[in-house]
A and B are shown apart, each in its own frame.
Chain A
Amino acid sequence: MLKIDCQMVEKVLVAFIKDSVIKNGFHNAIIGVSGGLDSAVVLALCRKALGSRHTFALLMPYRASAPESLSHGELACATFKVGYEVIDISPAVDAYFDRYPTASKVQLGNKCARERMSVLYDHSVRRKALVAGTSNKSELLVGYSTQFGDSAAAFQPIGDLYKTQVFELARHLGVPGDIIAKKPSADLWPGQTDEGEIGIPYTDLDVILHLMVDRRWDEGEIIERGFPLPLIRRIRAMMINSQFKRTMPPVAKLHARTIGIDFRYLRDWNK
C-alpha cells in the first residue's frame, strides 16, 4: 500500500531541493546528520541536487549519545562524499543543566535537539547555506519531534514520506546497510527507540496514518482493515494534540489584514 516509485520520488525531491536553495539565492545546504536513516537520506538527496561541494554535514553528539551514532554519521558522509564537522554539544548542554538541574529525560532531549538546531543555524550563516530538514511524515503527524528543535528547517525534503517509505528510498539511494538495519532512534538516551516511545511499530502506524490522512477513511473502515479501535483513537489523539507543532503561532487579530490569517502570501512570493 505504501510502496513508492523511488526513481520518481528521487527526481521530484532532487528538483525540490535545487529549487528551494537556488530560488532563495543560495547554493549550499547544511544538514544535521544524526547517524540515523532520515538524515542519511536527506544527505544523499542534497548531494544529488547540489553536488558534493555545496552540501555540508554537522555531526553533533552529546556525551550520552550512542557511539555508533557518530560512526554511522561519518559512514553516511563518507558514502555520499560530503564534508562534515563534528561538534560536541555536551559542554553547552551540561553548562545549562549545571545551573538548572533536571531529572526529566524529555527536558534533556528537547534541550539537545534545540542546541543542535542553534548550532546548525549558526553554521548555516557561516557557510551561506540553508538548513535542510530531516523530518518524515510519520513523526510530523504524531508530533514526535521537538518544536524549534529537530523540526526547524528552511525546507523539508522528506516531510511527505512515511517512515516505511523513507526506508524504501534509503535502499534505492544506497544508504549503508548498517544505518538501514538499526532500529530508528532519536538517541536522546541509551536504549531509546522511536517505536518504543511512540508505542506502535512504524509498519502499523504508517498504514493507519495513510488511511486516515491521505485516504480519509473513517474509524469503521480502518477497523475492518484489522486495526483495533483504541489504537486508531490513540493515533488520532496524537495527531490532534500535536497540531500546534505543525503551524505558526496564532496572531491576535486586530487590523483588517493579519499575518497568518488574511495576509495571504506564499513564502515563494516573487521568487
Chain B
Amino acid sequence: MKVRAVQFSPALGHVEKNLEFHAEQAAHAVKDRQELVVFPELSLSGYHLKDIAPDAALKPNGREWRRLEKMSRGIDIIAGAPVEEDPGIIVNAALYFSRGRLRHMHRKVQLPNYGMFEERMIFKPGEGFHAFKIGGFKAGILICREILFPMLAYLYFLQKTDLLIGISNSPQRGIGKDGISSFQLWETMGYVFSQFYHQNYLFVNRVGFEDGIGFGGGSFFARAGLGIVQKAKYVDADVLDAEVRSADVRRARLASGYLRDEQPGLVLQEMRRILHA
C-alpha cells in the first residue's frame, strides 16, 4: 500500500483554510497514485487551541465532516481534529475516512498537561486503543504523547497490527550540542515499534510556529524489523511517500519471535497482582 505523510503548518483555528489544504493534498495524492494520505495531529485546527477549541471543533456530520467524507471517495485520509461528539464535550481525535465515510476514530487518551501543554483543560480523554482495517492491513493509531508510552503500542501489538500510525504536534525543544533532543525521542520510539513490536510505523509530525513554539517535523517511516528507512525534513514542510508491505511484518515476526513468545496472560496476571498489592 502506498502511503503519504503530509508534514505542514496548519493555521491556528482557521479550519476552512486547513480543510482547503487537506483537499488540495488529497487531490495531489490521488494524482500520484497514493492510497492513504496522513496528516498530523490536529491538522484541521492547529495545536494551541485554548478558547478557540469550541469554535474549531468538528461536529460529526457537520459541513467539514461531509467535505472529508467526500474527499475520501478518491483516497483514504487520516486527519487530526478537535471533535465535539456531544454538546460541550470535545475530544482530540484522529479520523480515518475511507470510501466516503468515517471508518475509525481514535480519541487521544494521554493528554499532556504540564509546562506548555494544557490539553486536559480542553479535551475529554479517550478510553481505548482499537485496531481497525486499512485496506489489507490491520492498523492502530497513536496520537503524540501516546507514542511515548510503549505499553500503549503494546496493546496494538497484541491485536496483531501490521501498520501503526503516530500523528503528532511535537514542539521542538531541548537544544544542545547534538541538536534538538525532542527529535531523538520520536525516533527512538520508531526504532522500538519497528524492532520489538514488528510494526510498519508511520510517524507524521507538523511544522511551523504558534507564538514562537516551533514544531519540528522529522516525520518518518520505520519498516517492520528494519528501523527508520525514510525521513522527512526537520523544521520545514515536506511530504514523505512510503510503500507499506505486510511481508515485512511476517519476516520480522519470524526472525525474532517476539509476538509468538509474548505472554499477555502472564502480564495481565502480574498487573493484577501489582495493582491490588
Answer yes or no: A265 CB below 8 A from chain B CBs. yes
| Contact of A5 with B209 in the complex, beta carbons under 8 Å | no
| Contact of B211 with A267 in the complex, beta carbons under 8 Å | yes
A residues 236-271 near B (Cβ < 8 Å) are: 257, 263-271
Contact string against A for B residues 152-196, beta-carbon threshold 8 Å, 1 for contact and 0 otherwise: 000000000000000000001001111110000000000000000
Interface magnitude class on chain A? 20 to 34
**What separation, in Å, do the CA atoms of A265 and B50 have in the docked complex?**
6
Q: Which residue of A lies closest to B12 (CB)?
A: A268
Answer yes or no: A227 CB below 8 A from chain B CBs. no
Task: Check A266/B210 contact, CB under 8 A, given A3-B176, A8-B180, A271-B12.
Answer: yes
| Contact of A265 with B51 in the complex, beta carbons under 8 Å | yes
| Contact of A19 with B208 in the complex, beta carbons under 8 Å | yes
A residues 180-208 near B (Cβ < 8 Å) are: none
Q: Which residue of A lies closest to B53 (CB)?
A: A264
Answer yes or no: A11 CB below 8 A from chain B CBs. yes
Answer yes or no: B89 CB below 8 A from chain A CBs. no
Q: Which of A4, A268, A269 contacts B177 (CB 8 A)?
A: A4
| Contact of A12 with B211 in the complex, beta carbons under 8 Å | no
Q: Which of A3, A8, A155, A271 contacts B11 (CB 8 A)?
A: A271
Task: Check A266/B50 contact, CB under 8 A, given A16-B212, A155-B212.
Answer: yes
| Contact of A5 with B211 in the complex, beta carbons under 8 Å | no
**Closest-CB distance, B199 to chain A (whole angstroms):** 29
Q: In the complex, what residues of B have CB within 8 A of residue A265's CB? A: 50-52
Q: In the complex, what residues of A have CB within 8 A of residue B50's CB? A: 264-266
| Contact of A268 with B235 in the complex, beta carbons under 8 Å | no
Answer yes or no: A15 CB below 8 A from chain B CBs. yes
Q: In the complex, what residues of A have CB within 8 A of residue B48's CB? A: 266, 268
| Contact of B51 with A264 in the complex, beta carbons under 8 Å | yes
**Closest-CB distance, B192 to chain A (whole angstroms):** 24
**Closest-CB distance, A48 to chain B (whole angstroms):** 13
Q: In the complex, what residues of B have CB within 8 A of residue A9's CB? A: 175
Q: Which of B14, B46, B175, B209 contacts A8 (CB 8 A)?
A: B175
**What separation, in Å, do the CA atoms of A155 and B46 have in the docked complex?**
20
| Contact of A266 with B236 in the complex, beta carbons under 8 Å | no
**Closest-CB distance, B178 to chain A (whole angstroms):** 6
Interface residues of A (CB under 8 A from B): 3-5, 8-9, 11-12, 15-16, 19-20, 23, 155-156, 257, 263-271
Q: Could you write out 19 A-B pairs with CB less than 8 Å apart?
A: A5-B178, A5-B180, A8-B175, A11-B234, A15-B235, A16-B209, A16-B212, A16-B214, A19-B9, A19-B209, A20-B209, A264-B50, A265-B50, A265-B52, A266-B48, A268-B209, A269-B12, A269-B13, A270-B12
- Nearest first, the 5 closest Cβ-Cβ pairs linking A and B are A3-B177, A264-B50, A5-B179, A266-B211, A19-B209
